[in-house]
A and B are shown apart, each in its own frame.
Chain A
């Protein structure tokens, strides 16, 4: 896995504050494990099955089964989840969940308090880019992790730009480290 971290879309330069690079999947697993109130936001690109992305929604379900992390499905992603017999914690637009996460008084989907770590995957790159930026600036108590295969500099932590095999292998490692199958 390369530690090189440039934004996937060349012109999407961020900074001065930029995401720390997750160089080893074990680091991501440890962060998820340490989180007291994590949440996973899954966009529609996770449902695509092509040679470029694989079917990443399967990993989100396995991640949920391993950790119990609540899953928010954005746009029509929920349709694929339900088809696979999985019930996400909520269906919500990406902007809506972003807007709630930035609110320190929001007590979460279950009313038990604010989330401390939000994991994102499967949104269009540029859309996730700006939402993560909104959270970087206005959700000061929240850490964000981009699990997409592209480096997203507005997250707190992000994978670098990865090859598909590296990416899927990272998920296998994370899920295994978290006690999943």
Chain B
């Protein structure tokens, strides 16, 4: 084990008092020798232990770099012009610089999740002790923490066991970040490999965080019937004092619910949330409600509905305090990562802080103790709410009309808008008293308010949108299934075979942030398209919330229409951002439970298995953050393709296969050692979809795997061809690349497919037992 310097192994030790057999002791811990599964080759892997695997993937999926600009400005040598074939003063070229930026983003993301995990473990151990048992799903889960098992080779049982894994993840983040320093790594492919590595560490960090909070806070434990919870502006009774929580790290919000419970005030104060803290709080208590994804922060704050705001960490607007001050809403900051310039008041008496907030002597306070946050938040909000009387800065209609008349049409607002929304036209219409165009923009707005900042006349354009859309938004209420956590072993047992054989056409994971090109609806539409086709649809984070924000004609959301189990046609919300490893974990558990592969510290073999056999695809339609980058990187290393929406092109590097290069698509047949052409399955590891229609067709295509049986491939081709015809109006031009023998052809499409095969001079190929690893070939000699 690379992680520990000293390991003592004793076969048999005879002493005066006892005979000890099979004792293995390492510095600082007892090695788990009750785990029968043999340890694989890469426990606690170093930054380069899986480099060969990365290079296999990168050979097939070559980076396409898309730099924002021509320069590097990361050190005082620069700025350096890297255009053309120029190199910077440090010797770096544009390819390496671009991959360095990718690594940097992934390091930021992984550091964020891992620090989140570290904080949770620290806090929970302090409160509940190091021996608090971990429980992800009781008897329904034997393989808990599959990612940590696979990567680190340990089987955590108590909170203290998580410390080894989080310590390893922290070390990897530090190493990988150090590689971005001037004068370190020089190869773009090595930067890429390190991005994969830190993405893998990120998966461990996230898994630890969710495992700890599920266990201690008693979140739903791998529960397909996790409760339905309310979401939307209209979900809460805002006549009551209302606390808004924003962020990702839930202890301070738990402190609020606990205090309300203790004081028998539940039901008298509303607790609503935005972003992942909201999801996790509803996993803790169904009394909490969700406002919506990250993009709803300004909409809610400016509406004045929150009487007190508690922020923790991640994806919180940096101007939350200033915005809150405008509506006279006090703020409690609760994370060392997000202090907002406030004085640390953790050690001050609660009464003093409550009094300061209620009297408006301070705009906010900084409290690191979650229990004190609970007390101060609840006691303050009850006194603040009557004074505020839901004070709002949303303008009246006549103010908007006046602004419309005064608008000079300079276009600075639309030029600042990430989605090119027609704000100048909306201003012209507003001048005539017509707010409909603003209401339409409200539906598509990602809530960044760059238009406000850009307006030379300082018109609060985002507030104009909120006013125009308030009739609709204030009454909106939807039902979302609370985050269920992990996938049960029995669920994997039921679907493992159909997934690997291709008979369940795929697992579609809709994850990530809410930086959408055209509103929330696309996520719900994509999820439903695949649920109807009996794919397994898994959601997390803001995407899980957005999917809930569309109702059918009966008023039902997809969570009310489809089962919450990991099954064909299931729609599962696994939880917040840190719940994403449950998706990777499901794929790992397929290898363990269905294929009986050893997963303990056996990363490369399992990634090879997943890449060639498990038809899983991730779609981060509104990916915005560095965390989304590291989450994607964790999936890349497992060989799982990820698609991002159009804004995701700004991650500045794609990993693209070339289906026109036949030589790229050979695998070993593990039975014979022969090299066999499999077609471009899956075609890409990371790409951008320009439109939701393209994303839908791409998902169906990227679910194909070399291992598909003819029945499975036939089903997958049916969906691919059907969706292609529906959204593109024509047959796909590459269908011949996915037909290995005529049994693969969907029976109802046979004539048209056969015609294409004939035109393309198609030749039959065989279905191998696919692997990219020579060492997995069973036949020798």
Contact = CB atoms under 8 A, between A and B. Distances in A.
A146 interface: no
B59 to A, nearest CB: 15
A136 interface: yes
Contacts of B454: 10
Interface in A1-22: 8-17
Interface stretch (A30-38, A58-66, A121-129, A168-176): A121-129
Contacts of A106: 660
B728 A76 contact: yes
Contact of A133 (B67, B422, B690): B67
Contact of A126 (B412, B650, B660, B694): B650
Contacts of B69: 13-15, 133
Interface stretch (B7-15, B81-89, B257-265, B298-306): B81-89
B66 A79 contact: no
Interface in A75-105: 75-76, 78-79, 82-83, 90-91, 93-96, 98-100, 102-103
B70 A127 contact: no
Contacts of A140: 84-85
Contact of B687 (A15, A52, A93): A93
Interface string B636-663: 0000000000110110101010101000
A40 interface: no
B67 A91 contact: no
B733 interface: yes
A151 to B, nearest CB: 11
B694 A75 contact: yes
Contacts of A133: 66-69
A131 B67 CA distance: 9
B646 A93 contact: no
Q: How large is the interface on B (under 10, 10 to 19, 20 to 34, 35 or more residues)?
A: 35 or more
A128 to B, nearest CB: 9
Contacts of A11: 416
A106 B661 CA distance: 10
A76 B66 CA distance: 23
A95 B64 contact: yes
B690 A94 contact: yes
A54 interface: no
Looking at A75, A78, A91, A103, which has the most chain B CB atoms within 10 Å of its CB?
A: A75
Contact of A16 (B64, B66, B67, B70): B70
A9 to B, nearest CB: 6
Contact of B70 (A14, A51, A83, A130): A14
A43 B690 contact: yes
B656 A138 contact: no
B538 interface: no
Contacts of B85: 140
Contact of A91 (B64, B84, B654, B728): B728
Contacts of B412: 10
B81 A76 contact: no
A74 interface: yes
Interface residues of A, number: 46
Contacts of A14: 68-70
Contact of B649 (A9, A126, A137): A126
B688 A93 contact: yes
A52 B728 CA distance: 24
A143 interface: no
Nearest to B727: A76
Contacts of A99: 64, 654, 656, 658
Contacts of B654: 95, 99
A8 B658 CA distance: 32
Contacts of A137: 65, 67, 70, 82-84, 94
A106 to B, nearest CB: 8
Interface in B60-103: 64-71, 81-85, 94-95
Contacts of A52: 422, 425
B517 interface: yes
B747 interface: no
A130 B693 contact: no
Contacts of A100: 658, 660
A155 B69 CA distance: 12
A75 B698 CA distance: 10
Contacts of A102: 64
Nearest to A13: B69
Contacts of B422: 52
Contact of A130 (B652, B658, B698, B733): B652
A95 B415 contact: no
B83 A127 contact: no
B83 A94 contact: no
B67 A126 contact: no
A83 B658 CA distance: 29
B691 A16 contact: no
Interface in B316-365: none
Given A14-B70, A79-B728, A99-B656, A123 B415 contact: no
A101 B425 CA distance: 37
Given A52-B422, A79-B727, A127 B84 contact: no
B733 A91 contact: yes
Contacts of A43: 690
B214 interface: no
Contacts of B658: 99-100, 103
Nearest to B417: A9
B83 A74 contact: no
A74 B690 contact: yes
Contacts of B415: 8-10
Contact of A134 (B64, B81, B697): B64
Contacts of B68: 12, 14, 130, 133
Given A16-B83, A52-B422, A75-B694, A98 B646 contact: no
B83 A136 contact: yes
A76 B650 contact: no
A94 B688 contact: yes
Interface string B677-694: 000000000011111011
B728 A126 contact: no
A138 B83 CA distance: 9
A68 B412 CA distance: 39
A136 B94 CA distance: 11
B749 interface: no
Most chain A CB within a 10 A radius of its CB, from B69, B95, B649, B733: B649
Nearest to B695: A75
Interface string A143-177: 00000000000000000000000000000000000
Interface string B20-41: 0000000000000000000000
B689 A16 contact: no
A131 B728 contact: no
A91 B688 contact: no
A95 B683 CA distance: 12
Given A76-B691, A78-B730, A127-B690, 12 more contacts: A8-B415, A9-B416, A13-B69, A76-B697, A93-B687, A95-B687, A99-B654, A99-B656, A100-B658, A126-B650, A133-B66, A137-B84
Interface of B: 64-71, 81-85, 94-95, 412, 415-416, 418, 420, 422, 425, 454, 517, 646-647, 649-650, 652, 654, 656, 658, 660, 687-691, 693-694, 697-698, 727-730, 733
7 contacts: A78-B729, A79-B729, A126-B650, A127-B649, A130-B649, A131-B649, A138-B94
4 closest cross-chain pairs (CB), A and B = A130-B66, A76-B693, A79-B729, A75-B690
